[in-house]
Structure 1
Amino acid sequence: MSNNNKEFLDFLLSRFKIERDKFDRSGVYAYTQRLLAYNSNKIEGSTLTEEQTASLFDTGTLPKSDDYYRAKDIEEMNGHFLMFNKMLDTLDEPLSQELIKQFHYELKSGVFEDRANGYAIGDYKQRPNMIGMYKTVRPEDVAHEMCLLVDWYCEQNVNIFILAEFHAKYESIHPFQDGNGRTGRLILFRECLKNCIIPVVIEDANRNEYLESLKEYREEKSLNKLISLFEKEQRFYLEKCKYFM
C-alpha cells in the first residue's frame, strides 16, 4: 500500500461522509454515485443516459422527453443509489453473505417487475439461471458455494489479484435471480475502499472487454484480461477524482 493510495482513499472516505451528510450534489460523492450507477446499470441494458441519471440523483426527477422512460430502469437506478449508501454505512463490517443480501435488497426492493415475476429480493435465487450460454450454480447449491467463496476471501491478504478472483468467482456463481453484476461491481468498489486500493469502476464503454474477461475466467481460469481491465479502470477513476482534490 503506497502513501499516495492511502492519502487518496482517506480523501475519498472523508468527502463521501461529509458530502452525503450535507446533501452536497456537487462533489466527489455525487460524482461517484452517478458514475457507478450509470455505468453498472448501462452494462445491464438500462436506457437512461448520463444526464438523466444525474438528474434523477440530484433532484429526484427526470427531464421532459418525447421518449418514454422505462419504469424498471428508474427503479433500479434509484435502488443503486440506495445500495451505494448502504455500502458506505456498513464499511466497518466484514464482507458476509448477509451483507451481500442486504446490498441486493437495496438494489431490487423497489423494482415492481422483479416482484411481479416472483424473484427473491434480498435472498438467493430460487430458479436456475444462465449467463448467455453458460450454466451457473443451481439454486440449491448457491448458499454452500457462497459460504466457500466468502470464507476463502476473508482469509486472504486482499490485493487487486484477489479482488479479480473473487469477482470472477462471484459472477460465475450468479447467486441472485437478477442483479448479480451490479451487486458484484458494488462489492468490488467496496472492498477496494476497505483495503486501501484505488477503486475500480467498470465503464460501459469497456463492456465487451469486461464480458470477455469473465468469459476467459470461466473457460480457462485465467484472470489476465480481468486484472488488466481493473488496472485500466483504476487509472480512469483516479484521474477523474483528481479534479475534486
Structure 2
Amino acid sequence: MMHLPKDYLDDLLVRMTHHSCAIENNTITLSETVSILLYQMIPGKVSVREFYELENHRIAFNYIIESINQELTISLIHDVHSLLMDRLDHEKGHFKSHENVIVGATFPTASPKETPLLMEQWLLNLNNRIQKAKSSDDIILSICSSHIAFERIHPYKDGNGRTGRLIMMHLLLKNRVVPLVILKDQKHKYFQFLDKQDTEGFTVYATENINKDRQRYNAFLNSLSKE
C-alpha cells in the first residue's frame, strides 16, 4: 500500500471532490470546497443539493481510502454509489430500474435487464486484465478501458460518473499508482473519450495527468521528511 500523508489526502480529497462534482455541473468553487470539506464552513449561497453532493463525495472518498486493501466487488461499488447518492436518490446502491440516457452521447446505455450480468462480466474482465498486467502502464490501460466500459453501461439511475471516477481511484491506489484527477475544464475532452470509446486517447491523457500528480505526491512526501 502507498504511504498516504494526511496533507496529501486532504489535497486529493478537495481536488477530486471539486472537479468530479463540477463535471456533473455542481457550481461550488474550489475555495468554497476547501471551506466545506476541511473547515466545515458552509458559504451562505450554497444550495442544499450541491452541499450534499460534496459532503457525500467526502464520505465516499474516505470509504475508498479505508477499503484500499479490499478486492473490488459489486457490493463495494454499490456501497460507493449509496454513499455518493445519500439524500439525493432513493435508488442509491441499486442498479437502475429504468432506462437512462447520457445527455449528448451518441451511444445507448445498457438496459436495466442486462445491467447486472454486464457488470459481473465487466468486473471479471477487469480483474483478469489487472492480474495479467506487467507494469504500471498496463495497469493504467486496464483501468482506463474499464472506466469507459463502466460509463457506457451506466449501471445506475444517477451518479455514474462520480462512482466510476472513485472506482478508478480505488483501483489505482490499490495497485500503487497515484490517482487520476480529471479536471473540470477538460470535461469535453473526457466526454469525447467516453463517447468514441477512445481507450488509447484516454490512457495517454490519464498517464500524462497521473505523472503530474505523482510530482505533487512526491512534493508532499518530501515536505513530510523535512519536518
TM-score by length of 2: 0.88
Partner of 2:92 in structure 1? 121
Q: Provide runs of 4+ in structure 1 moved above 4 Å.
A: none
2:21 to 25, 29, 41: 41
Q: Deviations over 1:185-218 (max 9, x none)?
A: 101111011112232111112111111111120x
Whether contact under 8 Å (1:209, 1:229) holds in the other structure is no
Partner of 1:32 in structure 2? 12
Whether contact under 8 Å (2:148, 2:194) holds in the other structure is yes
- CA distance in structure 1 between the aligned counterparts of 2:63 and 2:195, rounded to whole angstroms: 30
The one-letter amino acid paired with 2:95 is Y
Partner of 2:136 in structure 1? none
Partner of 1:3 in structure 2? none
Whether contact under 8 Å (2:78, 2:94) holds in the other structure is yes
Matched residue pairs, number?
A: 212
SS at match of 2:113: helix
- CA distance in structure 1 between the aligned counterparts of 2:111 and 2:3, rounded to whole angstroms: 42
2:3 to 11, 15, 24: 11
After superposition, the CA RMSD in angstroms is 1.5
TM-score by length of 1: 0.82
SS at match of 1:10: coil
| 2:202 paired with 1:226 | yes
Whether contact under 8 Å (1:47, 1:70) holds in the other structure is no
Whether contact under 8 Å (1:216, 1:225) holds in the other structure is no
Runs (5+) with no aligned partner, structure 2:
134-138, 222-227
- CA distance in structure 1 between the aligned counterparts of 2:200 and 2:128, rounded to whole angstroms: 22
1:144 to 117, 125, 138: 117
2:168 to 173, 188, 194: 188
Q: % of aligned pairs identical?
A: 24
SS at match of 1:11: coil
Runs (5+) with no aligned partner, structure 1:
1-8, 20-26
Alignment of 1:1-245 (within 5 A): 10-12=2-4, 15=5, 19=6, 27-64=7-44, 68-111=45-88, 114-115=89-90, 120-132=91-103, 133=105, 134-156=107-129, 157-158=132-133, 159-217=139-197, 222-245=198-221
- CA distance in structure 1 between the aligned counterparts of 2:181 and 2:46, rounded to whole angstroms: 25
Whether contact under 8 Å (2:2, 2:173) holds in the other structure is no
SS at match of 2:190: helix
